[in-house]
Amino acid sequence: MALATQEREGLAEAPTLRVPNVRLGALLLGLALVPFNVYWVIVAELRWYLILTLNPLFVTPIFYLFALAGLNALLRQKAPRWVLNRAELLVIYVMLVMSCTVATHDFIINLMSSIPWPGWFASPENRWESTLFPHLPRWLLVWDKELLAGCFKGNANLYDPRVLRMWLAPLAFWSVFIFSVGWSMLCLNVLLRKAWMDQTRLSFPIIRLPLALTEEGAGRPTLRSRALWAGFALAAGLSVINGLHQWIPTLPHFPVCARWVNLPSWPWAAANPFSITLYPFAIGLAFLVPLDVSFSCWFFYLFMKLQYIVGFKLGYLGVPGFPYVTEQAIGAWYAFGFFLLYASRRYLGAIVRGVLTRKELGDGEEPFSYRVAFWGLLVGVAIFFGFWWAAGMNPVWVVVVLLTYFLLAICITRVRAEAGGQHTVWDLEPKNLFRLFDSQMIGPANLAVAAVSHWYWRLNRSHVMPSQMEAFKLAQEQRVPMRSLVMPMLVALVVATFVGMWACLHVFYHEGALTKCAGFAVWTGTESYDWLNQALDTGFKPERNRWIAVGSSAGFVVLLSWLRMRFARFPFHPLGYCIGPGLIWHWSPFFIAWLLKLVILRYGGLRFYRRALPFFLGLVLGDYVLGALWTLIGVWWNVPSYGMFH
């Protein structure tokens, strides 16, 4: 079992790779596309709430890669010297992916929505000026209510010098934090890469479609597959039908987005609501997930719903917090993360000893040396620590939060590397961890910083670390030196941060955050500051039941891991227990993909599975290409259009 495999020492250097050079023109093309991509995503998601970045494979980079592959096909006939080779396609794709980890609904939009929230929504009725303001880090937020009016109401001049000065300092500080996180995750990936790619040989299913689009040679078997284009036609056709129906309601359609189902009778109604979705892209991506993981994902989603039903029968639904879903997730993710570190102890120990003793580490083919990664990680950790300490958090809690965030980053990256599945994780963030303790012991300053930090913990669907690791795996599969990706990734991250902040402000001041922006992150502001207001007003105490839920779920993950090591055919994977309960939008696609894959393997064997796989890649490609085109229509003509998600 991949999860149970213990990473061993083994730092031998790989043979040198011979690949086409990445020309300057390709790098400049990737750099030029990043701002366009960022603006596209921000306007689509913030103005129209057309989601492009909340799934483990981002939509717009696939669209660009598909378009470049088509352009290459034309250039081969007309101008062969302008054809982009596989290394250049990979670099451009990776730069666009990095830009999507920042310019996204779950990251920069959350940040830009939460920064002005307390300054604008404070009122005599809520008394925030006397209860919240004294504890908030003023240097990370904006406060001038007069200048914020344009942000929330629109039709205002962003480029008024007073407005720019108000935003400049907070955004500069937040940029330092974002860069430090991106750099730290890159260093972590360098330290873990060989263990997960070369020794444990994780499958990285999420990279299958980008690999197919960057294939070279006359054969290009995947892109020439009729099955792929059949899947493409099915998904694209559904998108066209549903998109036209949105504009012309009298036209027929086949709904694939969420339909909410409420069970009518008790005790089953305790599990309400259920969402049923038939996203083609989600079925295609879930088909790439190993059978045991996909089964465990939908099973544990229903298992969590079953707890509500059993709780109703036993009279527990009246107990606040039951069945403690958040606390179960805290225990599960901590146990999973510690297990990963324990399994990697010898491998990581060898690296640390080599760095400290100046031993040869055989890291010549790594993205950069282990020494740079080790000391670079410490620099990133120091910036992270100093940032939140300066914001007002006690050093002890900063250490807890820092270690938790890095542990969760490793967990999410492992989930994507091993399963490729969807992940919605925010259970380990400070405001949930603090709920396990006494609010008076924690103190108002720590509570305030927990609220301010909520934006970057929220759901983690576009987390940068797994995307960086997948970029290195793509490079390995395409025999491209991983060192060639480092600088383009870092540059894309920096450019996307600056452009993303500007794009959000541009939309705010032009359209109005509260007037026309359907994707303004109202949820982030309310979750942050309403929680803080309640925590400071009424407080909370530690509860035995919450701690029992944390401990029992951690023990359950350990038990599942032991059973998988003990019994080869044990069907339940601990990954499923970790990510399954969060699959609100994706549990039914996981079930459909699992059932189809089970039938194909059982009755058609591995040969038929390989023939069917391009069809499911086609589902993803068709849904993504048409989904991207619909959002382009919305962004270009400033009109509502069809959204492929939600």
Question: Is-contact 284 644, C-beta < 8 A?
Answer: no
Looking at the domain assignment, is residue 2 inside a domain?
no
Residues 271 and 132: their CA atoms lie apart, in Å, by: 36
Average pLDDT of the residues in 548-564: 96
Residue 249 has pLDDT above 50, yes or no: yes
Residues 439 and 550: their CA atoms lie apart, in Å, by: 18
pLDDT band, very low/low/confident/very high, at 73 (cuts 50, 70, 90): confident
Supply the pLDDT for residue 217.
59
Residues 472 and 462: their CA atoms lie apart, in Å, by: 17
**Residue 457: both structure tokens together:** 């913990």
Question: Is-contact 337 405, C-beta < 8 A?
Answer: no
Supply the pLDDT for residue 219.
55
pTM of the model: 0.94
219 vs 573 pLDDT, higher one? 573
Question: Is-contact 500 38, C-beta < 8 A?
Answer: yes
In terms of Cβ atoms closer than 10 Å to its own Cβ (0-12, 13-18, 19+), residue 130 is exposed
For residue 27, give the amino acid letter: L
Looking at the domain assignment, is residue 99 inside a domain?
yes
Looking at the domain assignment, is residue 296 inside a domain?
yes
Looking at the domain assignment, is residue 645 inside a domain?
no
Q: Considering the chain, what percentage of its residues have pLDDT values greater than 70?
A: 96
Supply the pLDDT for residue 364.
87
Supply the pLDDT for residue 646.
80
Phi first, then psi: give them for residue 275, nearest 5 degrees. Answer: -110, 135
Mention every residue, 6+ apart, whose C-beta is less than 8 A from residue 268.
309
Residues in the chain, overall count: 646
Q: Considering the chain, what percentage of its residues have pLDDT values greater than 90?
A: 83
Residues 378 and 627: their CA atoms lie apart, in Å, by: 41
Residues 504 and 44: their CA atoms lie apart, in Å, by: 11
Total domains in the fold of the chain: 1
- SS3 per-residue string spanning 477-499: HCCCCCHHHHHHHHHHHHHHHHH
Looking at the domain assignment, is residue 317 inside a domain?
yes
Average pLDDT of the residues in 567-592: 93
Average pLDDT of the residues in 605-623: 95
Supply the pLDDT for residue 11.
40
Q: What is the pLDDT of residues 161-213, one digit of tens each?
A: 999 999 999 999 999 999 999 999 999 999 999 999 999 888 899 999 999 99
Residue 411 has pLDDT above 70, yes or no: yes
> H helices of 52-154, where?
59-78, 86-102, 108-114, 117-121, 128-131, 145-153
Strand partners, 261: 274
Question: Is-contact 295 560, C-beta < 8 A?
Answer: no
Looking at the domain assignment, is residue 328 inside a domain?
yes
pLDDT band, very low/low/confident/very high, at 615 (cuts 50, 70, 90): very high
**Residue 309: both structure tokens together:** 């039903």
Average pLDDT of the residues in 242-260: 92
Residue 14 has pLDDT above 90, yes or no: no
Residue 637 has pLDDT above 70, yes or no: yes
DSSP label at residue 541: -
Supply the pLDDT for residue 316.
87
Residues 600 and 275: their CA atoms lie apart, in Å, by: 26
Residue 10 has pLDDT above 70, yes or no: no
pLDDT band, very low/low/confident/very high, at 590 (cuts 50, 70, 90): very high
Residues 467 and 57: their CA atoms lie apart, in Å, by: 9
Handedness of CA 565, 569, 572, 575 (dihedral sign): positive
Residues 126 and 488: their CA atoms lie apart, in Å, by: 47
**Residue 486: both structure tokens together:** 């480092």
For residue 476, give the amino acid letter: Q
Say whether 261 sits in a helix, a strand or coil: strand
Q: What is the pLDDT of residues 472-492, one digit of tens each?
A: 999 999 889 999 999 999 999
Phi first, then psi: give them for residue 260, nearest 5 degrees. Answer: -90, 130
CA 514-519-525 angle, to 5 degrees, is 65
- Give the pairing of strands 259-261 and 274-276: antiparallel
Q: Cα dihedral angle (483, 485, 488, 493), rounded to 10 degrees?
A: -110
Supply the pLDDT for residue 220.
63
Preceding omega of 444 cis (within 30 degrees of 0): no
> H helices of 224-369, where?
226-247, 280-287, 291-314, 325-343, 345-357
Q: What is the pLDDT of residues 438-448, one digit of tens each?
A: 999 999 999 99
Q: What is the pLDDT of residues 284-342, one digit of tens each?
A: 999 999 999 999 999 999 999 999 999 998 988 888 889 999 999 999 999 999 999 99
For residue 275, give the amino acid letter: S
Supply the pLDDT for residue 317.
81
For residue 333, give the amino acid letter: W
Kindly provide the b/e burial profile for residues 85-111, where b requires at least 16 CB atoms within 10 angstroms of the residue's own CB: bbbbbbbbbbbbbbbbbbbbbbbbbbb
Kindly provide the b/e burial profile for residues 136-152, where b requires at least 16 CB atoms within 10 angstroms of the residue's own CB: bbeebbbbeeebbebbb
User: Residue 410 belongs to what domain range?
Assistant: 24-637
Supply the pLDDT for residue 574.
94
Mean pLDDT of the chain: 92
What residue has token string 């980008």?
210
Looking at the domain assignment, is residue 646 inside a domain?
no
Q: What is the pLDDT of residues 421-477, one digit of tens each?
A: 777 888 999 999 999 999 999 999 999 999 999 999 998 999 999 999 999 999 999
Looking at the domain assignment, is residue 69 inside a domain?
yes
Supply the pLDDT for residue 231.
97
Candidate from 25-34, 94-103, 317-326, 504-513 with smallest mean pLDDT: 317-326
Q: How far is CA 515 from CA 49, 89, 153, 508, in A?
A: 13, 40, 6, 9
Supply the pLDDT for residue 254.
93
Supply the pLDDT for residue 145.
95
